[in-house]
Amino acid sequence: MSNTSPPLAVLVKGWPRLSETFIAQELVALEAAGHSFEIWSLRHPTDVKRHPLHDQLQAQVNYLPEYLYQEPDRVWRARNVAQTLPGYAEAYRIWRTDLKRDPSHNRIRRFGQACVLAAEMPDAVLGMYAHFLHTPSSVARYAAIIRGLPWSFSAHAKDIWTSPDWEISEKLSSAHHGAAFGATCTGFGAKHLQEMSDDPTRVDLIYHGLDLGRFPAAPDRVWRKAGDPLHLMSVGRLVEKKGFDNLIAALALLPEGLDWHWTHIGGGDLKAPLEDMAIKAGINHRINWRGACDQPEVIAAMRAADLFVLPSRIASDGDRDGLPNVLMEAASQRLPILSTAVSAIPEFITTGSHGLLADDAPECLAEAMLKIARHPDQAAEMAEAALSRLKCEFGMSPGITRLSQRLTAMLAGQ
């Protein structure tokens, strides 16, 4: 294979994905910082629309077998190649140990994908970087052991809080072929991972931040008055951890005299039951379910809204948000914010200063919405403060600089 190939292989769960534009933002910035890499995706795209960032990326995108039975010849050919590589026996041993603790089809698929990755990666690759600590990092770890390469990861939310402790600890341990380093996007998550690592310096807090150059300048809003209609909006997948069932219940509690309308942007498996819930509550005529939208559509909706609402909560399986980028996007458009104090959201929003953080119970969300509706001057002040904090403390450049340093050091064997 050609030595002109990039020295870094980036592993992602799926590409491109509208719900993971923070990954695209980071990779575009890494290219701008001088890094050359190829993307290896575990899944094929399912989104109909693309984000403008996806078209900016220069990296070649390769797709691993999404399911092993779909490409048996490719998988067995790769397995034969992988078995000739020096680290195969050790990788196989570790995988068998993992399989005893997690006897799942997914665990089998991870090793098959790792064999394909190890066999097909160019010889020029010097290291690997995986987005998400669960499945992508498992594939990266097995492939890295097979090839004798260092690997690293970026962890976000679900991958931290739903992965078993034994797996996280081993991925953060040098004795178990753990990562050269790990990055995570919240102080809340970084503290948790540092406590599980054999070396806390292995884990870096690197906020995604927001590349404000990708967004139009905040509009000079004409702020609504207390008696005016209230246009709320949310962006987020219709999944349990986003808490939209609680929001619908809260909207149903708002007084008759408040003229409100809610726009939701995003796909998700809970669309049908949530719409049914709204119909039964008699409020679905006030809701606009827009489905997945691209960035220009999202920004236009934010500029037309009076309040951004994200009622995040901890799901029954432990899954939760990290620090959702949509909160920073809303702040970039001087849009008042109502959210919850889940996970790392308070790292950006101090309640009463940059927005309101309510308990996720419907009664509390309804009370917070009424407070904002009745006190638009306070909402405007909080929106200004959130925009100022975004510009001063949550820009993208410092995080990209730190990540670039860690990747460069890993590829240099330091």
Average pLDDT value over all residues in the chain: 95
Whether 382 contacts 356, CB under 8 Å: yes
Identity of the residue numbered 100: K
pLDDT at position 172, please?
A: 97
* Residue 115 confidence class, pLDDT cut points 50, 70, 90: very high
Q: What is the mean pLDDT of residues 149-171?
A: 94
State pTM to two decimals: 0.83
* Residue 335 confidence class, pLDDT cut points 50, 70, 90: very high
Q: What is the mean pLDDT of residues 17-33?
A: 90
pLDDT at position 47, please?
A: 73
Residue 1 has pLDDT above 60, yes or no: no
Same fold, 8-209+396-413 and 214-394: yes
Domain boundaries in the chain? 8-209+396-413, 214-394
pLDDT at position 46, please?
A: 82
CATH classification number, 214-394, choose in 1.10.287.540, 3.40.50.2000, 3.90.1150.10, 3.40.50.300: 3.40.50.2000
pLDDT at position 55, please?
A: 86
Q: What is the mean pLDDT of residues 178-192?
A: 94
pLDDT digits (tens, 9 = 90+) for 40-85: 999 998 877 777 788 889 999 999 999 999 999 999 999 999 999 9
pLDDT digits (tens, 9 = 90+) for 244-256: 999 999 999 999 9
Strand order in the sheet with 230-235: 287-291, 260-265, 230-235, 307-310, 337-340, 356-358
In sequence order, which ranges of 216-361 are alpha helices (DSSP H)? 244-253, 271-280, 295-304, 325-332
Whether 208 contacts 22, CB under 8 Å: yes
* Residue 322 confidence class, pLDDT cut points 50, 70, 90: confident
Q: Does domain 8-209+396-413 have CATH number 3.40.50.2000?
A: yes
pLDDT at position 51, please?
A: 74
Centre a 10 Å sphere on the Cβ of residue 63 and count the other Cβ atoms it contains.
16
Q: CA–CA separation, 143 vs 117, rounded Å?
A: 6
Which has the closest alpha carbon to 348: 311, 322, 369, 313? 322
Q: CA–CA separation, 146 vs 321, rounded Å?
A: 33
pLDDT at position 2, please?
A: 42
